[in-house]
């Protein structure tokens, strides 16, 4: 089986690995002593749209930076406090730069102590600041059992514009009663985008069309667009036009994300922060932050951008330890790991989703990938696994709050994490008893890769936002229990 990487080079726009990655050729994945399985396992949430039940909180950096960011979102905090029946908004102030073990320790000590009443612990958490101010590791630790989003902008005006947009859509929702479900594939001829279209996009479209014919969903029929790059006019204009349908929309796009040039690292940090994670629509045309900053683009909608680094670039890649040992990578002109910040440089949220969120006529939330994005999340060794993505899109289209709609992806990652933990122990027992392991190295590699691929999808924006439609979401998407599930 081959795993495909949704990453292209800057300048040449060629795929970084045009032939994919043969899992049989991977070096042995080290058996983990532990992994990111959740310490607390909340079951399915009752009434996920009811903030009076679920509650909403904020995670802000310590010090003056966090003070300033909390001040900027005060109108949003006041809105959420009213929506949760006047209950005070819980605010957490962790230190910056936490590694994964520090993040889980902080979660145990500060967010999850038994002395806190469960009904007062917020399910929805809005993280403020960039990755060097509140670490990605803390976001991922919290996201195992909470509904987490992140908000960061390069200027104060970005925060103000986003908060104003959320309040405006809340107070004056669209007159539309049904959401648009949009699917966009940048078919650049690569095996990665071909696999993505055939195994994810088209099955989602077919499933939603069938459910629409059966009256099982209350959205508009799905609309799809395939960009082949054969036309000579602007692919960027076509994409923006497609993403600006009348009425709030949910958009799933699949493309390569822009990485470093073939020669290696970016020529400057500034250029990397401005362009990495931009979307390759054709081999010649990119969608950049400038394209979505000021013109109407998915107004009041939600965007799921599936591409490498489409949400941002972490300080460390989960794949670095074994990618460095790949013979095929050592012989290549450039490694995808050169996309990571050099020592002393900062991790960052991508400029493209920041610009879209700061646009008054842009989306309310963006889902993207915070590392190298593979096709493994929807390709189970050749078997289709599109349903978890389809469920996210369908729930968003039925006005489930954005953080709660992410649960199918997070649940899949948690399940794989538990499998890795359980089988790590079994592998040690087998080794001690000098027996042949039940799982092949390729099976381990596949599940390990898939776990980190799914766990690296993150939500940017307030996790409590939802499509501003006049209709009420169907009750089957909101749970039926009047109380909140225990941990």
The number of beta carbons lying within 10 Å of the beta carbon of residue 285 is: 20
Q: Would 133 be classed as within a structural domain?
A: yes
Alpha-carbon distance 458 to 410, whole Å? Answer: 9
pLDDT at 254: 97
Tell me if 355 sits within 8 A of 456, measured CB to CB.
no
Q: Would 443 be classed as within a structural domain?
A: yes
Pick from 101-105, 212-216, 288-292, 417-421: least confident: 417-421
Q: Would 39 be classed as within a structural domain?
A: no
Alpha-carbon distance 128 to 136, whole Å? Answer: 11
pLDDT at 429: 53
pLDDT score of 35 more than 70 = no
Task: State the burial class of residue 132 (Cβ atoms within 10 Å of its Cβ: 0-12, 13-18, 19+).
Answer: middle
What domain range is 125 assigned to?
2-31+45-477
pLDDT band for position 440 (cuts 50, 70, 90): low
Helix (H), strand (E) at residue 147: strand 147-151
Q: How far apart are the first and last CA of the chain?
A: 38
Alpha-carbon distance 124 to 146, whole Å? Answer: 6
124 to 54, 98, 167, 463, 468: CA distances (angstroms): 7, 21, 17, 6, 18
pLDDT at 355: 98
Alpha-carbon distance 370 to 317, whole Å? Answer: 9
What is the DSSP track for 346-368?
PPEE-HHHHHHHHSTTS-SEEEE
Helix (H), strand (E) at residue 407: helix 407-432
DSSP helix/strand/coil, 112 = coil
Q: Would 227 be classed as within a structural domain?
A: yes
Task: State the burial class of residue 434 (Cβ atoms within 10 Å of its Cβ: 0-12, 13-18, 19+).
Answer: exposed
Tell me if 241 sits within 8 A of 273, measured CB to CB.
no
65 to 61, 152, 156, 292, 348: CA distances (angstroms): 7, 12, 11, 27, 16
Alpha-carbon distance 363 to 286, whole Å? Answer: 19
pLDDT at 330: 47
0.75 exceeded by pTM: yes
Q: Would 486 be classed as within a structural domain?
A: no
Instruction: Look at 469 and 17; give whichever has higher pLDDT.
Output: 469
Q: Which residues contact 277 (CB under 8 A, 6 or more apart)?
A: 257, 258, 307, 308, 309, 310, 311, 312, 313, 350, 351, 352, 353, 368
Q: What is the tens place of the pLDDT at every residue in 340-363?
A: 998 889 999 999 999 999 999 999
Q: Would 37 be classed as within a structural domain?
A: no
Alpha-carbon distance 56 to 73, whole Å? Answer: 13
What is the DSSP track for 62-104?
SHHHHHHHHHHTHHHHHHHHHHTTTPPPEEE-PPSS--HHHHH
**451 Ramachandran zone, left/alpha/beta (phi>0; psi -120 to 50):** alpha
Q: What is the tens place of the pLDDT at every residue in 221-238?
A: 999 999 998 888 899 999
229 to 67, 185, 244, 269, 461: CA distances (angstroms): 47, 11, 20, 30, 31
Structurally, how many domains does the chain consist of?
1
pLDDT score of 32 more than 60 = no
Q: What is the tens place of the pLDDT at every residue in 210-221?
A: 999 999 999 999
Alpha-carbon distance 379 to 384, whole Å? Answer: 5
81-90 as b/e: b if 16+ CB within 10 A: bebbeebebb
Q: Would 484 be classed as within a structural domain?
A: no
Pick from 9-18, 317-326, 413-422, 477-486: least confident: 477-486
pLDDT score of 487 more than 70 = no
Alpha-carbon distance 467 to 218, whole Å? Answer: 13
Q: Would 254 be classed as within a structural domain?
A: yes
The number of beta carbons lying within 10 Å of the beta carbon of residue 124 is: 25
Pairing of strands 383-384, 379-380: antiparallel
């Amino acid at each position: 089986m081959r795993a495909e990487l949704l990453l292209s080079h800057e300048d040449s726009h060629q795929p970084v690995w045009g032939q994919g990655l043969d899992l049989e050729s991977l070096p042995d994945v080290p058996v983990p002593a532990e992994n990111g399985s959740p310490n607390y396992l909340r079951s399915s949430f009752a009434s996920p749209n009811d903030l009076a039940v679920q509650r909403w909180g904020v995670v802000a950096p310590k010090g003056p930076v966090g003070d300033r960011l909390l001040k900027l979102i005060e109108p949003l905090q006041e809105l959420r406090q009213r929506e949760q029946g006047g209950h005070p908004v819980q605010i957490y102030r962790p230190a910056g730069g936490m590694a994964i073990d520090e993040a889980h320790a902080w979660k145990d000590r500060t967010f999850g102590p038994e002395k806190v009443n469960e009904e007062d612990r917020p399910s929805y958490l809005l993280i403020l600041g960039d990755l060097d101010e509140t670490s990605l590791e803390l976001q991922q630790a919290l996201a195992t059992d909470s509904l987490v989003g992140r908000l960061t902008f390069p200027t104060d005006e970005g925060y103000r514009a986003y908060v104003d947009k959320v309040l405006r859509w809340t107070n004056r929702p669209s007159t539309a009663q049904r959401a648009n479900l949009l699917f966009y594939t940048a078919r650049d001829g690569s095996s990665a985008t071909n696999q993505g279209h055939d195994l994810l996009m088209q099955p989602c479209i077919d499933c939603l069309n069938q459910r629409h014919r059966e009256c099982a969903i209350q959205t508009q029929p799905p609309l799809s667009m395939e960009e082949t790059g054969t036309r000579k006019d602007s692919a960027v204009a076509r994409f923006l036009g497609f993403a600006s349908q009348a009425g709030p929309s949910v958009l799933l796009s699949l493309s390569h994300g822009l990485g470093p040039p073939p020669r290696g690292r970016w020529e400057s940090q500034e250029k990397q922060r401005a362009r990495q994670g931009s979307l390759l629509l054709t081999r010649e045309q990119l969608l950049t932050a400038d394209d979505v900053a000021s013109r109407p683009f998915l107004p009041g909608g939600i965007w799921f951008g599936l591409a490498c680094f489409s949400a941002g670039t972490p300080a460390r890649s989960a794949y670095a330890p074994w990618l460095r040992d790949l013979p095929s990578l050592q012989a290549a002109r450039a490694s995808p790991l050169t996309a990571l910040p050099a020592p002393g440089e900062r991790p960052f949220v991508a400029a493209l989703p920041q610009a879209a969120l700061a646009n008054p006529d842009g989306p309310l939330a963006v889902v993207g990938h915070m590392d190298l994005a593979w096709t493994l999340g929807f390709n189970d060794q050749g078997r289709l696994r599109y349903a978890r993505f389809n469920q996210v899109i369908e729930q968003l289209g039925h006005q489930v709050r954005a953080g709660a709609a992410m649960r199918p992806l997070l649940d899949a990652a948690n399940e794989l994490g538990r499998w890795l933990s359980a089988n790590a122990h079994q592998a040690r027992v087998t080794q001690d008893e000098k027996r042949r392991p039940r799982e092949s190295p390729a099976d381990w590699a596949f599940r390990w890769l898939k776990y980190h691929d799914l766990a690296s999808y993150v939500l940017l924006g307030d996790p409590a936002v939802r499509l501003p439609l006049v209709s009420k979401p169907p009750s089957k998407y909101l749970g039926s229990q009047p109380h909140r599930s225990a941990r």
